[in-house]
Structure 1
């Protein structure tokens, strides 16, 4: 504790002694900054909105996370904390203007021994939306006998701004996540978790973050194993493949290349320096929220390109579980085309392929002929799934010696689609984080069993890559990930790059 005087220490201790009920303390935990009161149920305990860093506001906006302050008395940890500043979306994301948001949540199974494995979850959302509290971890904690920690981190312009001369430029979101992992190391034993047995897991942007931490020197010793779910963290994304109209880009860019964009955004907001930017309101900055949607490398938290680090083995040597959903990009074809009332036409498909693949467009079109698919939208979803997610993941799984999986459970038909959605991006998440009151589902229980087994032992019940487990509600099967997604072809035409 960082108390300044002995009198302050005595006063705080006396205060907590008065308010903690003597009859029941299972829902009361003392952490390094004070005492928490959470929710106590028959088979779990839940503590929410625990500050792991100081509020990044005022002069702390766009600075590395600082230690949280101490509190007196008992802090209420029964409700979710504020979501980090983000915009509401048509897909139902809840907006927020809060910057005091660096909170985490801890779900603890009741019973058994102490020293349980710890499962730290980094949410997805494209680095622009979502929160740790969006994920109900109670079933995973209870059925898997693991302590689950879900984390908020700064998003968009608040977490990823790259600006000339700014210390930590482009990496504040990852720095937040590492601050949360350090908090776990120091405090999780007080919840019955083993600080020396931490699995770091994430999906989409959260999974890409995990790839960053694998190659980050400042993450050394913060986790013992990792899970990468739908993590686009190697390769180059062709033009228009991720979103309509988006130019081609590598998954990781140098900080120096993005800092001019920070200067441009500042000018557009009427500022000539970072001091002025720190004075702007949260709402003003949110108008530029989507200008920054990925961490950069070439800063303190991420000095080198994670894709190159993975390819050359310059990563933390930990067990890896890694995979995708079978039809990742059917989500994009659904949201931006079919459900927007603009299903892709045959002529538009030809144009999209030409824009994305240039001189190799004819080879790509021949490999993915429209006659193989229910509609041009499905054909474009298949191409982009393979080149953006599946083949970079297959290569990464080989380079890391990972245990490989593919979530292949089909989603229900959706009115307005020109094709069956298959297993799109994020369709696996309700199975790993099911609603606590929902009836138990066989596939959900199987996924929780596998993920929890990995947290306990660092392995799963199938061989490492190239074996890939196909996860469906049917009998467990194995697939050839590279063959299923045409990866030899994509290597030949030079589209799957580091």
Structure 2
């Protein structure tokens, strides 16, 4: 605990008495925030406050502007239902309609009923930076079993969240509106969370996939300094776009909207539906190098120590690539064939394709799709986690996990039979931690593993370490001693086989 308090003090966070009573309303359905009063819903063992605005609606002249503080309101705001999702298309993996509502910068607070100051987990959803919302998750177990207060956040997506072009640069550097929304949400948490029973000195940021890429960006962003005390990266390589490459690709988006003169005014005149259509034709959407906001790529920041120095937990699932291969092939009834596997590897790796095919021969796997998924897994997030941990560990405690429960339930959209196992696919850990939907409920054994994982995440939020009572303590990751925690079907165990299982030495050479 002393080590954590030292970290919090160094960050300039106000360290409050742990267990002290918080503001009035911290255990009831009505809470007074800095902007106004909200009325949530009280359940048997938790409370939830939905759709609270943390920034002004980014509409009109505020479209493609940095987020502004939310306006105050009079009376009591109904917080019983989630707010609008940010602008996005409908997709198979997410059981929600498309959204064309730009007034979407809202968050949801899930709180224990106790009024004592709780550690806070701020959760950023995934979805390729073009889909998803905070309401996709119901983190009841993280709240009740982990004894945490959880905040789920909406942030701008797609072109509205990440467009960078020279014409917007003339108004101020462009490209990271979604990332700056996340910073603004953290400012709201810092200013308001004690009113709900949260401890603003213990704020863990966490995200998965594109949400984890946001966490990478927050670690590397000077704008987020002092706003969090620990960070969790679930299934992200922490890659970002260069400004030059992003602006080159985004020029096609401007063309697709027919904006050739007075470009910014033209862009702001387009409807959300027109923007969605254009962004599907051209452009690249995700964090981009930006002076003052994201000065260097997160990996470079980690290697040089020029980042917000807090303990970091990062990891992946055992077979990340299976979900994408399924969605792009089996889900549309076009499973990968032996010939298309070879063609795909050849197109991606060129002169190095023969080496990849020799390492991953199609006859070694249950199907060509499984072979392609293995390549995608090992070349991407599976090996990125230990690489990023190695960069971080010289300046902060870094811990690595891998989720390996091959009994994990399928996601609700996976109704088309797959030509290979979908076990431990991308996002497979989410129902165990954050309450995402599954095709079938967790079994008793899966619930036991879920409870263990929540205990690790909650302990990390409290102390910045991974040593919950009654479970194997996880050592700091070291380049010379790469021990991790593996979440197997029968529980967590400490091992050092992650890099060898995923042939990371081969990929370090191949991807260089």
- Cα RMSD (Å) of the superposition? 2.1
Q: How far did residue 192 of structure 1 move?
A: 1.1
Q: How far did residue 268 of structure 1 move?
A: 2.2
Alignment partners' CA distance in 2, 1:24 and 1:225: 23
Residue matched to 1:174: 179
Write out per-residue CA displacement over residues 67-97 of structure 1, whole angstroms, 9 at most, x where no aligned residue. 1111000000111000001001133442111
Alignment partners' CA distance in 2, 1:105 and 1:23: 16
Going from structure 1 to structure 2, the CA distance change for 1:330 and 1:116 (only over 3 Å counts) comes to same
1:490 aligns with 2:507: yes
1:311 aligns with 2:316: no
Alignment partners' CA distance in 2, 1:371 and 1:456: 47
Q: How far did residue 314 of structure 1 move?
A: 2.0
**Equivalent of 2:383, from 385, 391, 401?**
391
Alignment partners' CA distance in 1, 2:391 and 2:129: 26
Alignment partners' CA distance in 2, 1:190 and 1:302: 31
1:407 aligns with 2:399: no
Residue matched to 2:343: 351
Residue matched to 1:275: 265
Residue matched to 1:248: none
Q: Is the 8 A contact 1:110 1:142 kept in 2?
A: no
**Equivalent of 1:197, from 196, 202, 218?**
202
Q: Is the 8 A contact 2:57 2:102 kept in 1?
A: yes
Q: Is the 8 A contact 1:256 1:298 kept in 2?
A: no
**Equivalent of 1:187, from 172, 188, 192?**
192
Give the SS at the match of 1:297.
coil
Residue matched to 1:78: 80
Q: Is the 8 A contact 1:83 1:152 kept in 2?
A: yes
Write out per-residue CA displacement over residues 150-207 of structure 1, whole angstroms, 9 at most, x where no aligned residue. 1000000110111214224110000000000001011111111111110000000000
Q: Which moved more, 1:480-489 or 1:414-423?
A: 414-423
1:471 aligns with 2:487: yes
Residue matched to 1:454: 460
Going from structure 1 to structure 2, the CA distance change for 1:267 and 1:422 (only over 3 Å counts) comes to same
Alignment partners' CA distance in 2, 1:134 and 1:300: 32
Q: How far did residue 127 of structure 1 move?
A: 0.5
1:110 aligns with 2:106: no
Alignment partners' CA distance in 2, 1:230 and 1:430: 15
Q: Which moved more, 1:261-270 or 1:445-454?
A: 261-270
Structure 1, unaligned stretches of length 5 or more?
A: 1-21, 234-250
Going from structure 1 to structure 2, the CA distance change for 1:208 and 1:23 (only over 3 Å counts) comes to closer
1:39 aligns with 2:27: no
Write out per-residue CA displacement over residues 340-364 of structure 1, whole angstroms, 9 at most, x where no aligned residue. 2222222222222211222222211
Q: Is the 8 A contact 2:176 2:288 kept in 1?
A: yes
Q: Is the 8 A contact 1:106 1:150 kept in 2?
A: yes
Alignment partners' CA distance in 2, 1:329 and 1:364: 16
Residue matched to 1:19: none
Q: Is the 8 A contact 2:125 2:134 kept in 1?
A: yes
Q: Is the 8 A contact 2:207 2:232 kept in 1?
A: yes
Q: How far did residue 114 of structure 1 move?
A: 2.0
TM-score normalized by the length of structure 1: 0.88
Give the 5 Å matches for 1:2-401: 26-94=28-96, 95-111=98-114, 114-166=116-168, 167-233=172-238, 251-271=239-259, 272=261, 273-290=263-280, 291-401=283-393
- Figure out how many residues of one structure are paired with residues of the other and give that number: 456
Q: Which moved more, 1:156-165 or 1:73-82?
A: 156-165
Write out per-residue CA displacement over residues 405-460 of structure 1, whole angstroms, 9 at most, x where no aligned residue. 00011145876322212200001101112379977611111111111111111111
Q: How far did residue 49 of structure 1 move?
A: 0.5
Q: Is the 8 A contact 1:210 1:228 kept in 2?
A: yes
Q: Which moved more, 1:258-267 or 1:102-111?
A: 258-267
Alignment partners' CA distance in 2, 1:310 and 1:23: 40
1:420 aligns with 2:421: yes
Alignment partners' CA distance in 1, 2:436 and 2:208: 18
Q: Is the 8 A contact 2:25 2:31 kept in 1?
A: no
Question: Following TM superposition, where does structure 1 have runs of at least 4 consecutive aligned residues deviating by more than 4 angstroms?
Answer: 22-25, 412-415, 435-440
Q: Is the 8 A contact 1:123 1:206 kept in 2?
A: yes
Residue matched to 1:236: none
Q: How far did residue 61 of structure 1 move?
A: 0.3
Alignment partners' CA distance in 2, 1:98 and 1:482: 43
Q: Is the 8 A contact 1:119 1:199 kept in 2?
A: yes
Give the SS at the match of 1:252.
coil
Q: Is the 8 A contact 2:449 2:491 kept in 1?
A: no
